[in-house]
Amino acid sequence: MAWRKYCWSKRSASGDESLSVRGLLGIQDLPRTEIEAILERAKFFQTPQQRGTALTGRMIVNLFFEASTRTRVSFEIAARRLGADAISITASGSSVSKGESLVDTLATLAAMRPDAIVMRHAASGAPHFLARHLDIPIINAGDGTHEHPTQALLDARTILDHRPTLEGLRVAIIGDLAHSRVARSNIHLLSKFGASIVLCGPPTLLPKEMAQLAPGVTLTHDIREAIAGADVVMMLRVQLERQHEAPIAHSEYFGFFGLRAEHIPLAKNDVLVMHPGPINRGHEIASEVADSKQSVILNQVENGIAVRMAVLERVTVLERGTVGGAA
Ligand code: ASP
Ligand code: ASP
C-alpha cells in the first residue's frame, strides 16, 4: 500500500487520489523504507542465475520515446528473468511518429492490459501525466531533465556493494548537472540517507538553484575541490541533445572537468568511480580511469537488471496482492 501511496507524492501527501497512484515515478518523494526494501530485494536478484516466476503470464510494455539501448535492454532482461513477456515500442516505430497524441497512444496500449508500462520520454513529467490517466503501474525510465529513479537505485546498490552505508559518504557528481535526470534522482536518494553531495561543473551547466534540491548539497566549479576526500565520484556526460547554449569546446571541457588519472589520488584510497553511461572517453572521463580498478561502471550496468527486477516485482505483484487479491 505504501508503494501506491507514495510514488506520486505531491498528491499522496494530501491524501488525494492515492488510489490512482501506481508505479515508480521518482525518488524525490519515495520514503527511505521503500528504497531500502528495493535495494534489499535487488541484492537477492544479484546472482545472475536468480530467476523468478513472480511475473509469469504478465506483460510489461517498454515505451521509449527517446533513444536508449542500455536502459531498455536492462528492463527487458529484468522482465524476462521474472517470467514476464516484455514488449518494447520505440517512438520512431510507432504511431507516435504518425502524430498520435500521447494520451491516445497510451490509452490504446492500456486497452491491451499490460501489467506495467516502463516509459522514457523527453518531456519532464510525462510519466506523471500518464499515471494520472491510466490505471496501470507506470515506471519512469527517464523523463526529460527530471528523474531517472531506477538509475539512482542501481547506483545506490552499487555503492552499497562496496560500503556498509551511504550515511556520511562524500559523493562528487561532476559534469552536466543542468540537464541530468540521473543527478537529480541521485541527489534525492543520497540526501535521504545522509550523504554529503558535491556538485561540480562549468557555471553554464551547474545552476545555483541545485544547491537547494536537497539537504547536504554543495556546489563548486573546481574539479579538484570536488574530488578531494570523495568516497564516490560520479561522472556525467555533457548532454548536447538537451543543451541550448553554445557547447564548450571538447578539449577545453576535458581540461577543466574531465576525470583523469592524476585526480584519483585526491580522493579516498578506495574511491569508486561511477558513470551512468553512455561514456564518452576523452571527453568527461579518461579511458584509463574508466577502465581502472576504481571503476565500477560495469557493475552499475549489471546491478541495473537486479534493481529493475526488484522494482517490476514490487509494482506489479505486490500491487496486485494488495488490490486485486487472488484476481
Ligand atoms: N541514455 C541512454 C540510456 O540510459 C544510454 C544508452 O542508450 O546507452 O538508455
Ligand atoms: N543514460 C542516462 C540518461 O538516460 C545518462 C545519459 O544519457 O547521459 O539520462
Q: Do the domains 162-295 and 2-149+302-323 match in fold?
A: yes
Give the residue from 64, 70, 67 showing the smallest Cα distance to 279.
70
pLDDT in tens, 43-57: 999 987 788 888 999
Cell digits for 291?
Answer: 577502465
The CATH number given to 162-295 is 3.40.50.1370
Q: Do the beta carbons of residue 71 and residue 121 sit within 8 Å? A: no
Question: Where in the chain are the domains?
Answer: 2-149+302-323, 162-295
pLDDT in tens, 65-86: 888 889 999 999 999 999 999 9
What is the crossing angle of helices 297-313 and 32-44, to 10°? 110
CA distance 254 to 248: 10
Ligand 2 touching residue 169 (CB < 6 A)? no
Read off the pLDDT band of 151 (50, 70, 90): very high
| Single-letter code of the amino acid located at 14 | S
Distances (CA, A) of 161 to 3, 17, 327: 25, 37, 37
| CB atoms inside a 10 Å sphere around CB 19 | 11
Closest ligand 2 atom, residue 236 Cα: 8
Within 6 A (CB) of ligand 1 lie 68-71, 277-278
Read off the pLDDT band of 317 (50, 70, 90): confident
Give the residue with greater pLDDT, 67 vs 298. Answer: 298
Residues with Cβ within 8 Å of residue 230, at least 6 apart in sequence: 170, 171, 172, 198, 266, 267, 268, 271
Q: What's the CATH fold of domain 2-149+302-323?
A: Rossmann fold (3.40.50)
Ligand 2 touching residue 183 (CB < 6 A)? no
What pLDDT, on a 0 to 100 scale, did the predictor assign at position 261?
98
Residue 53 CA from chain centroid, whole number = 25
Q: Do the beta carbons of residue 144 and residue 203 sit within 8 Å? A: no
Task: Give the mutation target among 180, 185, 279 for probing the ligand 2 site: most ligand atoms within 8 A of CB.
Answer: 180
Q: Where do we find the cell 507516435?
A: 96
What pLDDT, on a 0 to 100 scale, did the predictor assign at position 321?
39
